[in-house]
Amino acid sequence: MYYNQKERLEIVLNIVKKLKNFEGKNREIINLYDENLCSFISEFKNICQKYIKQDENNLVDYKGILDFVEINKIIKYNFPILKVNKPLFVIRAK
C-alpha cells in the first residue's frame, strides 16, 4: 500500500507545523521554517514539493541529509512511499 498525494501532503504539513512551532531549550517557540533564519528551508521546500507532486505511476522515496549550518547539525529525512515505512525527520549532531 502506498501513500497517496493527500497523505504525502499531510506528512509534510505535520513536519512544517513542528518546524514553525519548535520549542527551544528555554521553552521559547522558534519558527525554524523561516528561510531568513535557517538556510536549509529552501532546499527542504523543494524536496517536499517534489515528494508530494510526484507521478503516481513512478513513486520513489525521498531520503537524505540537510545541513543545518546555523547550529552545526544535520537533519536526516526519509519521506517514504510504502505505508509500512514511517516518515523520518530528525535533527542530529554531525
pLDDT in tens, 17-65: 999 999 988 999 999 999 999 999 999 999 999 999 999 999 999 999 9
pLDDT for 5: 97
The pTM is what?
0.93
- Mean pLDDT, range 68-92, rounded to an integer: 97
- The three cell numbers locating residue 18: 513542528
Helix H, strand E, coil C: the string for 33-59 is CCCCCCCCHHHHHHHHHHHHHCCCCCC
Decide if pLDDT at 83 tops 90: yes
Cα–Cα dist 66/75, whole Å: 5
Domain housing 83: 5-93
Nearest to 51, CA basis, from 87, 17, 79, 85: 79
State the total domains in the chain: 1
- Mean pLDDT, range 71-89, rounded to an integer: 97
In which band, very low, low, confident or very high, does the pLDDT at 67 lie, cut at 50, 70 and 90?
very high
How many distinct helices (H) and strands (E) make up the chain? 2, 5
pLDDT for 82: 97
Cα–Cα dist 30/69, whole Å: 16
Nearest to 31, CA basis, from 18, 44, 13: 18
pLDDT for 24: 85
